[in-house]
Amino acid sequence: MRAETLTMETIVFNFNNSGLHLHLESFALRIGYLLSEKVISAGTSYISIEYEKLSKTNKPEEMLDRINDYHKAYSPDYDPKTDEQQRQVLKMHRKVKHHNQQTIVGYKLFEKALIKEFNRVNNEWLELHKRWGLPQLSPLVDGENMDIIACNMKSPESTLHNFMAVSHFMLLEDPEGDLPFVFILTPEFFLPEWIGNWKIMKADHAWAAKPENLYLQECFSLPNINLMEATELKTVRNELAPALAEFHAKTNEWLALIKDKPAESSRYFSKQLMNAAASVLPSLGDNVLLQQCSSLLKDKVMLDIYMGEAPLYALWDYFRHFKAIPDESWKKLEEARAAGLLAKKRVPIMVLNQNISSMPPAKEAAKDDELLPAKKSLSID
């Protein structure tokens, strides 16, 4: 899973039909791609990212599955009997061993209509996914700078066919890993319904080193980079690489402390990592493509990027609150918590902050111009 050399790896997790916006997840993946050495999409969003590749099929049953799923979701007048009748045609055609000219012509017409409808539905699906900005990331998935950890949507604890169980992922079971992942969390993290019970402090706070506490500090601010295509993201990543070298090095040292000397990590973050992050700001501000993204929306759509540490159990609760951890996986995590496993463990996080109060429900596709034009102020002690 990991490279042998130490690299700053960020990870963005989501699960099918959660309350976490795919549009904001797309932001998170792009930010991870630009600011870290490697970003990983974990969970089930690989289906959106690799939709064009995964949706290709010449099997009639799979075509009917896709067509039926689409109409159930988006066609209120769709009659399920249509699907039953089409499957019956397939069944009868295969049952007959010797076809006459009439049945051969009839099936060919049925097959032609099926393929036409499948292609239409597939294109509709793809356009919906593109509104979230995820399929546009497919060219970046090279295993080196961007990778995927897939979870099985129908069986979240399955480890067959290279799937990773959701509970294994949440328990940080990465035997090949050298340093902890930096979890990138979307702005839902700051919604009062979730964060209201937590006191957020700065890294230099006297209690920041305690494993039960959460500390965060603002490091960067970026415009709506969901407007960028893969080639533009590659260009910006290459242009920022020299300026980010020190930040990556300091982040890796911080991650090593989180792993081996957790009592020292917050102090290092405050003294070293924040200075390294500040050194990147001029390059972010001067980057031409980033400036163009900002000017397209009149500098009104910006994301503030915070970094810090959170208790592992808090991370679990966050994902569970927004329905990103299925019941089957949550049961295993509850058992681990009851046993006190990883009770004092904290994880490095990068959190995006933008006012999302008037965004559409997470399951709906949002357009770029539907993003709110204002920052949300945040109080951190």
66-93 residue pLDDT tens: 898 888 888 888 888 888 888 888 888 8
Q: How many domains does the chain have?
A: 2
Is 182:36 a contact under the CB 8 Å cutoff? Answer: yes
Alpha carbon 215 to its chain's center? 22
End-to-end CA distance of the chain: 37
pLDDT at 95 over 90: no
Quote the longest CA-to-CA distance of the chain: 85
Structure confidence at residue 275 (pLDDT): 97
Name the pLDDT band for 322 (thresholds 50, 70, 90).
very high
Nearest to 348 by CA among 182, 207, 213, 193: 182
pTM: 0.86
**Which residue segment(s) compose the domain that 97 sits in?**
54-130
pLDDT above 50: residue 105: yes
Cα atoms in the 13 Å half-sphere on the side-chain side of 233:
29
CA distance 184 to 204: 22
HSE at residue 349, side-chain half, CA atoms within 13 A, is: 27
Q: Do residues 126 and 258 share a domain?
A: no
Segment among 63-72, 135-144, 212-221, 290-299 with least mean pLDDT: 290-299
Q: Return the percent helix, strand and coil in the chain, to nearest 5.
A: 50, 15, 35
Q: Would you state the pLDDT for residue 380?
A: 59
For residue 166, being part of any structural domain is answered with yes
- Does 104 have pLDDT greater than 70? yes
pLDDT band at residue 283 using 50, 70 and 90 as cut-offs? very high
Q: Do 195 and 4 contact (CB within 8 A), yes or no?
A: no
Query: What average pLDDT does the segment 170-190 reach?
Result: 82
- How far apart are alpha carbons 111 and 115 in whole angstroms? 6
Choose one of 99, 130, 161: the last residue of a domain. Answer: 130
Please say whether the dihedral angle defined by the alpha carbons of residues 34, 45, 230 and 24, taken in this order, is positive or negative: negative
Let me know whether 94 and 194 are in one domain: no
Contacts of 147 (CB under 8 A, 6+ apart): 38, 39, 40, 41, 141
Do 14 and 144 fall into the same domain?
yes
- 166 and 308: one domain? yes
| Angstrom distance (rounded) from CA 211 to CA 259 | 12
The H or E element that residue 171 is part of is none
Instruction: Decide which of 79, 108, 130 is a domain's last residue.
Output: 130
Query: 41: helix, coil or strand?
Result: strand
Residue 334 CB contacts under 8 Å (≥ 6 apart), including other chains: none
Band of the pLDDT at 381, cuts 50, 70, 90?
low
Judge contact between 29 and 59, C-beta under 8 A: no
Residue 3 lies in a domain: no
**Residues 102, 224: one domain?**
no
Both 224 and 292 in a single domain?
Answer: yes
List the alpha helices (DSSP H) in 261-355: 265-268, 274-278, 281-286, 288-296, 312-321, 327-338
C-alpha to C-alpha distances, 285 to 35, 174, 196, 220, 245, nearest whole angstrom: 14, 36, 33, 10, 17
Same domain, 139 and 240: yes
Q: Give the pLDDT confidence score for residue 83 in this predicted structure.
A: 86
Phi then psi for residue 132, to 5 deg, are -85, -10
| Per-residue pLDDT reduced to its tens digit, 235-276 | 999 999 999 999 999 999 999 999 999 999 999 999 999 999
Do residues 111 and 138 share a domain? no
Pair (142, 58) in one structural domain:
no
The torsion angles phi and psi of 304, rounded to 5 degrees, stand at -85, 140
Kind and range of the H or E element at 212?
Answer: none
Cα–Cα distance measured from residue 50 to residue 194, given in angstroms and rounded to the nearest whole number: 31
Return the percentage of the chain with pLDDT > 70, whole number: 88
